[in-house]
Amino acid sequence: MTVATDIAFAVLPLRFSERPDAMDAFLRLLGMAPVVTAPGGGFAVLVAGGGGRVMIHGVDSAQSGPAAGTTDLCLATEDTDRAAAVLRAAGRQVRVWDESYGRQGALLGAAGEEIALNETQRDLYGYEGHDGADADPRLTVVAVRPTDDIEADVASFAALGFVPRGDAAPGWCPVQGAAGTGIIGLHRPAPGEQCSRDTGSEFGRAAAARIGFETSEDLGRLAARLRDAGHPVELREGGRGGALHVTDPDGVVVEIHPAPGR
């Protein structure tokens, strides 16, 4: 069963950063553009022109106990209450509550983890809004989701409108929603990689993710731009056109793959 066609969920990896302002600058260098920022720094939501968003939150002010460099899998929606109603009608477990910046929620995933639902902010409550017009249309966010059961997660995300793209490989399956929503890359966890984390709070176990991207920009040119800015980057051969592995300001490796058909 799938959700109503007018309900769209966009991927929104949430990075708890020790260097949030540096992460903001790093993502802008890749081609993302801000849509919400905090006047004093420490928080930002950025959008990719090809789809998907990334939220940056200073780890020092986080209430759910994450380590620096941790990334949770979240989804953005325009109307949390309406999205929750549609998901509940499809048999999914969702809870919703009030925050000062809007209605927020959490969807129970296939393995009992919680995937946060973040409603698009209508009242900025002191934050600064931006139009995201400078976002590079060649860049798309990939929320890389480790899972012990890819088939179960494929079925789970199908209820949110994300369907397999057709270029799956053993241990890897990208699922994609409507245009502009980004990609969830389902993969078997690497040794020692956790699929969720215990928040030690009412938020339960949060679904884990890694920040990744696809781009139709030439990888060599992107690598040069990153190196010029001082970011360690490696261009690896293999697969469909190779991939860039770049170390972000939190010391986490971000993979950037060429977009299909490039």
pLDDT tens track for 53-90 = 999 999 887 766 688 899 999 999 999 999 999 899 88
Domain assignment present for 234: yes
Domain assignment present for 29: yes
Average pLDDT estimate for 137-160:
95
Domain assignment present for 246: yes
Which of 256, 259, 184 lies closest to 223 in space, CA to CA?
Answer: 256
Query: Which residues, including other chains, have CB under 8 Å from residue 106's CB and lie 6 or more apart?
Result: 94, 95, 114, 115, 116, 117, 203, 204
Domain assignment present for 1: no
| pLDDT at residue 1 in the model | 46
| pLDDT at residue 15 in the model | 97
Domain assignment present for 25: yes
Q: How far apart are CA 107 and CA 90, in angstroms?
A: 12
Which of 184, 166, 163, 116 lies closest to 5 in space, CA to CA?
Answer: 163
Q: Answer whether residue 100 shows pLDDT above 90.
A: no
User: Which H or E run includes 240?
Assistant: none
| pLDDT at residue 93 in the model | 92
Whichever domain contains 218, its CATH number is 3.10.180.10
CA angle, 68 as apex, 233 and 204 as ends, to 5°?
125
Domain span holding position 146: 10-122+136-258
Structural domain count of the chain: 1
Q: Answer whether residue 3 shows pLDDT above 60.
A: no
Phi-psi group of 41: left, alpha or beta (phi > 0 → left; psi -120 to 50 → alpha; rest → beta): left
- CA distance readout (Å), 159 to 74, 170, 183, 258: 15, 23, 15, 27
In which band, very low, low, confident or very high, does the pLDDT at 13 lie, cut at 50, 70 and 90? Answer: very high
Q: Answer whether residue 43 shows pLDDT above 90.
A: yes
Domain assignment present for 2: no
Helix axes 219-228, 20-30, angle to 10 degrees: 150
Domain assignment present for 130: no
Q: Give the pLDDT confidence of 114-148 residue by residue, as tens digits.
A: 999 998 877 777 889 999 999 999 999 999 999 99
Question: Residues 35, 47: contact at Cβ < 8 Å?
Answer: yes
Domain assignment present for 220: yes
Give the neighbor-by-neighbor strand order of the sheet with 43-47. 71-72, 14-17, 53-58, 43-47, 33-37, 128-129
